[in-house]
Chains A and B, each alone.
Chain A
Amino acid sequence: MASRRGRETAARWIFIAALLAALEGVVRLDWVDRIFVTAPSLVAATAWEKILSGELPALFVTTLFSVGAAFLLAMVVGLPAGYALWRFPLFGRAYDELLSALFASPWILLYPIFLVIFGRGLGAIIAMGFLSGMIPIALNTHHGLRDVNPIYLKVGTGMRLKERQIVRHILFPAAAPMILSGLKLGVTYILISVIAVEFLVEIGGIGTLASKGYFWFNTEELYLGMAGAIVLSMIFIHLLGRAESRLFTS
């Protein structure tokens, strides 16, 4: 079995390497205009330069700071909000529908409003991230608590546990998988909206690099910005998946 998986992984990396090599060849042979497409080796050289000068790490730190701040705010509001939705079922039903409707709407298009209210700065980016992360966190927390098997709670009452004990020892452990997947969903949406807004308004971290590279016709910088944003998202999602599977296999 291991050899089959190894073969698949190898095929995947060979494909990616072949793609990059083809790109490199096409550019080196001057088959395409170098203003439009650049060679991966040149992008890597630019990346190395910007790592040494500290520019690239600073951009990553800025993006991660915005994501972290938005995630913290989204948890601080979203988790209690989800609990409140469960605690007061009537409001829960009403607000669950409202939040779902908002989440299904193209909320990313609200960013000009955040620019107007918070100004062109990290505040607008963090507020946008907060909104996109808070909703799935609140909704999943509500659904997780709501769908706990009522028999578990009856067992708790039968054992004469206090309400606090039931919440602490039965309700939250049973709802944990759903709540954690809400947190995962939330941080994914936050990352997407932070990078998207960084790119769109050219403020903050890694998203701005692509925008500036395009504006100044600096093709290496443009592709470095795009690659940086995509690689950062992929690493993030990979780590989240790993963390989730580790939590639930132990």
Chain B
Amino acid sequence: MKPLLIQTVTVLVFAAVWETVAESGLLFAGILPGIGEILRAAWVLASSGAIFPHLLVTVHEASVGFVFAALFGIALGVLLGTQPFLRRVFEPPLLYFAATPKIILYPIFLMLLGAKLESKMAMAAVSGFFPIVVNTTIASAGVNRVFLKVARSVGASRLQIFTRVYFPSMLLPVAGGARLGIGVSLVAAILGELKVSNAGLGFIIMQSFNHFRIPEMYAGILLTFLFAAAVNVAMTLLLMRCRSFAHESAR
């Protein structure tokens, strides 16, 4: 109970300091609008429905990108995880590449796919690909050899080995990778929108910035964070479902 109290007090103190600085005029008024002003702008964006077409665009980009990331990430991950030679050759460069800022590749997608949704889908796909391929490689390499031997010796077919051995033991780590991947895909799509776009959550934020509608910019960032948090919570719940399913099928 006590940590919760400290957290609440901290957030309130932060809000109070923010409000005081905003009201005091210490900073140039446009830089730090009051909390009331930001919330009002957020309310206008949400209640007028102005933000929803943009939210849909972002969700569309991120989810198409994520589907590609999952398809290629899982396919390559299974290949690398089951072929030790390929894994030893390609995993190190893959891990290095995973830790570079993927947004730097954005101009290629802009040139090839244009400034509309497709270039953000590509950004989301490339960014979401890495956590998925890394987790799938580890998951498929970690499938217990004994289980595979037992399955073969009782005459299980390839399909049965896949559904009864590979699938249950890979489900959790792959779902964990997919959860990371969704978050990364979403952020990548929004980053792409912030750079060049004509729709989406990132577009709203950048347009407000460029037209110096600063309260609206803060409101856009706030709503984006709330949406990301909601996605995160939903994924956590889904992962818990996966976990209980995996436990049941393990029995």
Interface contact B111-A36, CB-CB below 8 Å = yes
Q: Across the interface, do B194 and A112 meet the contact criterion of CB distance under 8 Å?
A: yes
**Interface residue? A94 (CB, 8 A):** yes
Q: Are B103 and A199 in contact (CB under 8 A)?
A: yes
Supposing A90-B2, A106-B190 touch, asked if A214 and B101 sit within 8 A by C-beta, the answer is no
CB atoms of A108 and B191 under 8 A apart:
yes
Per DSSP, are chain A's interface residues mostly helix, strand or loop, or mixed? Answer: helix
Once the chains bind, are B111 and A109 in contact (CB under 8 Å)? Answer: no
Q: For B3, what are the chain A residues with a Cβ–Cβ distance below 8 Å?
A: 90, 93-94, 97
Q: Which residues of B contact A8 (CB under 8 A)?
A: 85, 88-89
User: Contact at B31–A210, with CB atoms within 8 Å?
Assistant: no
Q: How large is the interface on B (under 10, 10 to 19, 20 to 34, 35 or more residues)?
A: 35 or more
Contact of A95 among B10, B93, B228 (CB under 8 A): B10
User: Which residues of A sit under 8 angstroms from B90, Cβ to Cβ?
Assistant: 12, 15
Report the nearest A residue to B210, measured CB to CB.
A112
Is B186 interfacial (CB-CB < 8 Å)? yes
B151 within 8 A of A: no
One digit per residue, 1 when the CB lies within 8 angstroms of any chain A CB and 0 when it does not, for chain B 207-241 equals 00100001001100100110011001000000000
Q: Which residues of A lie under 8 Å from residue B112 when comparing CB positions?
A: 36
Residues of A within 8 A of B225 (CB): 105-106, 109
Instruction: Assess whether B89 is in contact with A11, with CB atoms less than 8 Å apart.
Output: yes
Q: Is the CB of B96 within 8 A of A238?
A: yes
Interface: A51 (CB within 8 A): no
How many residues of chain A have a CB within 8 Å of chain B? Answer: 47
Known: A113-B218, A200-B194, A200-B195. A106 touches B7 (CB 8 A): no
Query: Which residues from B are CB-within-8-Å of A93?
Result: 3
A213 touches B107 (CB 8 A): yes
Interface readout for A203-214 with B: 1 if CB under 8 Å, 0 if not? 000010011011
The answer to whether B221 touches A113, judged by C-beta atoms less than 8 angstroms apart, is: yes
A26 within 8 A of B: no
Asked whether A233 lies within 8 Å of B101 as measured between CB atoms, the reply is yes
18 contacts between A and B (CB under 8 A): A36-B111, A90-B6, A91-B6, A95-B7, A105-B225, A109-B224, A112-B194, A112-B206, A112-B221, A113-B217, A195-B104, A199-B101, A207-B101, A213-B107, A226-B104, A226-B108, A229-B100, A233-B101
Interface of A with B (CB < 8 Å)?
8, 11-12, 15-16, 35-36, 90-91, 93-95, 97-98, 104-106, 108-110, 112-113, 115-117, 188, 191-193, 195-196, 199-200, 207, 210-211, 213-214, 222, 225-226, 229-230, 233-234, 237-238
Nearest first, the 5 A-B pairs at minimum CB distance are A214-B107, A94-B6, A94-B3, A233-B100, A106-B187
Other contacts beyond A191-B101, A211-B107: 16, CB < 8 A: A12-B93, A36-B111, A91-B6, A94-B3, A97-B7, A106-B190, A106-B224, A109-B202, A192-B100, A193-B101, A196-B104, A199-B195, A207-B101, A230-B97, A233-B96, A234-B96
